[in-house]
Amino acid sequence: MMRLAILLAALLVAKRAVAAPVEFQAAPGAVSLLRSFAVNSSSSASLPPSEDPFYHFPDDLDTYGNGTIIRSRPVNTSFAAVANSSYQLFYRTTSAVGNASAALTTVFSPRAPVSPPQIMLLMAPIDSASPDCQVGYALESGTGSNATTLLPSIAADIVASLSKGWYVSVPDHEGAEAAFISGVTSAFAGIDGLRAALNSSDLFSNTTGYKAVIHGYSGGADAASWATQFLPTYGQGLQVVGASFGGTPVRLLPTLELLSNGSASFLAVSALAGLGNAYSELDAWYNSSLTTAGQDAFALARSQCAEGLASLNNINVFDLFTNGSAALNETVPQKYLALEQLGQPLDNTSAPVNTSGLLPVPVFMYHSETDGTVSYAPVPAYVDDQCARGANLTFANTTGLAHAQTYIAYEGDVYQFLAAAFDGSLNTTGGCTRQSGIVNAFGSPGYIREIGLAAWTLLASAGANVRRRSYGW
Ligand SMILES: *[C@@H]1O[C@H](CO)[C@@H](O)[C@H](O)[C@H]1NC(C)=O
Ligand SMILES: *[C@@H]1O[C@H](CO)[C@@H](O)[C@H](O)[C@H]1NC(C)=O
Ligand SMILES: *[C@@H]1O[C@H](CO)[C@@H](O)[C@H](O)[C@H]1NC(C)=O
Ligand SMILES: *[C@@H]1O[C@H](CO)[C@@H](O)[C@H](O)[C@H]1NC(C)=O
Ligand SMILES: *[C@@H]1O[C@H](CO)[C@@H](O)[C@H](O)[C@H]1NC(C)=O
Ligand SMILES: *[C@@H]1O[C@H](CO)[C@@H](O)[C@H](O)[C@H]1NC(C)=O
Ligand SMILES: *[C@@H]1O[C@H](CO)[C@@H](O)[C@H](O)[C@H]1NC(C)=O
Ligand SMILES: *[C@@H]1O[C@H](CO)[C@@H](O)[C@H](O)[C@H]1NC(C)=O
Ligand SMILES: *[C@@H]1O[C@H](CO)[C@@H](O)[C@H](O)[C@H]1NC(C)=O
Ligand SMILES: *[C@@H]1O[C@H](CO)[C@@H](O)[C@H](O)[C@H]1NC(C)=O
Ligand SMILES: *[C@@H]1O[C@H](CO)[C@@H](O)[C@H](O)[C@H]1NC(C)=O
Ligand SMILES: *[C@@H]1O[C@H](CO)[C@@H](O)[C@H](O)[C@H]1NC(C)=O
């Protein structure tokens, strides 16, 4: 769930690292490309989502099919140098409780597209319970979005994908309610963010034979993993050939416990607030169970981006409830904490459509045992369960790397896997593979080859730039 402040933080050696198997260094003489990914204030400012008519639901929203485009607009982004064009699509989707809803995705076309098209559904670590901190608004140049650390956490993925000739769709997968950490919300809004891209005649004249992959880290991995397990039901018909996700919150409670009292405890508040945005029953329980300070903290998390939530760091999150840590053992929160368990079967009393919880396409999953943000503890059992059920899963683990570092450290392995998924060159024996460590080490020729020179140049320059900035986590 970490909004990886990351490009940066990732390039610093973790203070508490047990060991440092990967040496993070900025490439010598790297160009300061990161500057061009800062918010571009030279184009005209547009309104925040909560005020922008582009985001209004049409009266007849019910009549739109899932994934149908409601509105489309070209958009200026910081990626003009690597994209042929970029658009924002506002599309029909379905909320976690089955109501008609709508969300926005920002889509990019490559300069030299592969044919038939290859598309990445890129799930960003949005990590916010505020509708004005979503990734689409942050991607649009000159908007004044406060979510300034969100762009560096996905810039390398956008550049790497475009430079390989892949299209990219970056949905506001938390949906209109900013339902951070709601797996069902992100699965549906994410899947429809792919459908909307495929439906865009601005982007494609011919999608016959297209293939898609899904990728995300941290909060983005939550969305990517849930979207992947819903492919056979909600995502039926989509030609998704693989997925990768890392730093995945497999279960919510261990991660809340890990975050509480720590330097990123705001994430735990945002996650709880976001889940309440999806489910009114949970939100009503909050209203009767939070202390006054807790009410204020939740209101803050719903009105400010991560950058404005420093006052929620280093706090005990459970103390925000009148009954302290016992509060989350009550029936209503238990129901929703149980719902957020990745991989379990859900029938249509828990979600608008069912899922078996089994990963239906080849997946590359990765996690550091020393991740201090998203708990590693429940991950091995999830992997064992998927493997026992026949998933085609490659699971890689490492140790000594912090959360943000792990994202960068595995990018070479991620792109090697996703490219093989597109090419149909994955090992077709099927089944599970457990990999200890990293194949394509940061900065190695293999790493640079897999992510491409443009993304490498960006990462390397980010290293130089980012060292000067401190995010505290
Ligand atoms: C910022 O926007 C201006 C005007 O749209 C454009 O000329 C410039 O190239 C943009 N800068 C970057 C870094 O994208
Ligand atoms: C959208 O998906 C939901 C959940 O599968 C379904 O109930 C609904 O009928 C779909 N909407 C349309 C217009 O097909
Ligand atoms: C993009 O930037 C150019 C140059 O500033 C401007 O003319 C154009 O209107 C902008 N397009 C959008 C959609 O904002
Ligand atoms: C690039 O974008 C333009 C419109 O901006 C479009 O006419 C053209 O077909 C696109 N090229 C590719 C290769 O997609
Ligand atoms: C969802 O739809 C139901 C019935 O159509 C309605 O009662 C409820 O208020 C809706 N929920 C939201 C969050 O809009
Ligand atoms: C669309 O793409 C497919 C696969 O590349 C190709 O076989 C087909 O001829 C194309 N159709 C049109 C109308 O260009
Ligand atoms: C495009 O929108 C239609 C509804 O108009 C929807 O049924 C379809 O699934 C979407 N296309 C794709 C490729 O998903
Ligand atoms: C953005 O930052 C400004 C200035 O601190 C603040 O007034 C505003 O409420 C913030 N908005 C969000 C959504 O974070
Ligand atoms: C909450 O329940 C768990 C078992 O489900 C138990 O281990 C824990 O002690 C309980 N916490 C409190 C504060 O009652
Ligand atoms: C990865 O997990 C296995 C257990 O499945 C463990 O034996 C191994 O030490 C771990 N490797 C690393 C690098 O953490
Ligand atoms: C494919 O996977 C199987 C089982 O893990 C392994 O024995 C085999 O060596 C792999 N083949 C290749 C070409 O990697
Ligand atoms: C795993 O791959 C094998 C071989 O390609 C395939 O038969 C099987 O259905 C796959 N399993 C899942 C859960 O997709």
**Residue 270 sits in a domain of what CATH number?**
1.10.260.130
Q: Are residues 102 and 215 in the same domain?
A: yes
Ligand with an atom nearest the CA of residue 351: 2
pLDDT value at 214 more than 80: yes
CA distance linking residue 286 with residue 298, whole number of Å? 9
DSSP secondary structure, 306-335, as one string:
GGG-GGGTT--GGGGBTTGGGGGGSHHHHH
* Cross-strand bridge partners of residue 450: none
| Mean pLDDT, rounded, of the chain | 89
**Distance (Å, whole) CA 81 – CA 47:** 25
Mark whether 352 and 275 lie in a shared domain.
Answer: no
Question: How many Å apart are CA 136 and CA 126, to the nearest integer?
Answer: 10
Percent over 70 (pLDDT), the chain = 88
Are 234 and 351 contained in the same domain?
yes
Ligand 8: nearest atom to the Cα of 303:
13
Backbone angles phi, psi at 181, to 5 degrees: 75, -5
Q: How far is the CA of 232 from the centre of ligand 2 (A)?
A: 14
Residue with tokens 């963010």: 193
Question: How far is 162 from 160, CA to CA, in rounded Å?
Answer: 6
Verify that 106 and 215 share a domain, yes or no.
yes
State phi, psi for 281 to the nearest 5 degrees. Answer: -65, -40
Q: Which residue has the tokens 């982004």?
A: 77
Of 318, 339, 360, the position where a domain reaches its end is 339
Q: Is there a single domain that holds both residue 285 and residue 159?
A: no
Cis, bond preceding 74 (omega within 30 deg of 0): no
Residue 325 CA, ligand 9 centroid: distance in Å: 8
Residue 35 burial (CB count, 10 A): 10
Ligand approaching nearest to the C-alpha of 431: 12
β 363-368/240-246 pair status: parallel
Name the 3-class secondary structure at 8.
helix
The ligand minimizing its distance to the Cα of 379 is: 10
Q: What pLDDT does residue 143 have?
A: 84
Q: Is the CB of 68 under 6 A from ligand 7?
A: yes
When pLDDT is averaged across residues 96-102 and rounded to a whole number, the result is 98
What is the CA(285)–ligand 4 centre distance, in A? 51
**Domain holding 391: CATH number?**
3.40.50.1820
Residues 269 and 328 in one domain: yes
Q: Are residues 146 and 282 in the same domain?
A: no
Name the domain count of the chain: 2
Q: What digits encode the pLDDT tens for the residues 284-332?
A: 999 999 999 999 999 999 999 999 999 999 999 999 999 999 999 999 9
> Is residue 458 located within the same domain as residue 378?
yes
Q: Which of 295, 321, 339 is the last residue of a domain?
A: 339
pLDDT digits (tens, 9 = 90+) for 121-154: 999 999 999 999 999 999 998 888 999 889 989 9
Same-domain pairing of 76 and 175: yes
Mean pLDDT score, 1-22? 33
Is 171 in the same domain as 63? Answer: yes
Instruction: Point out the ligand 4 atom lying closest to the alpha carbon of residue 113.
Output: 13
Q: Which atom of ligand 2 is nearest to the CA of 63?
A: 13
CA 320 to CA 403: how far, in whole Å?
25
Q: What is the pLDDT of residue 142?
A: 82
Residues 226 and 357 placed together within one structural domain of the fold: yes
Positive or negative, the CA dihedral 290, 292, 298, 299 is positive
Query: Would you say the pTM of this structure is higher than 0.85?
Result: yes
To test the ligand 2 pocket, which listed residue (57, 60, 61, 66) has its Cβ within 8 A of the most ligand atoms?
66
Tokens encoding 343: 């991989």
Q: Tokens standing for 1?
A: 């769930």
Give the pairing type, strands 211-217 and 118-123: parallel
Range of the domain at 228: 4-13+20-251+343-469
The answer to whether the CB of 301 is under 6 A from ligand 8 is no
The residues with which 89 forms a beta bridge, in sequence order, are: 72, 105
Query: Could you tell me if 245 and 301 lie in one domain?
Result: no
What lies within 8 Å, CB to CB, of 204 at 6+ separation is 117, 167, 198, 210
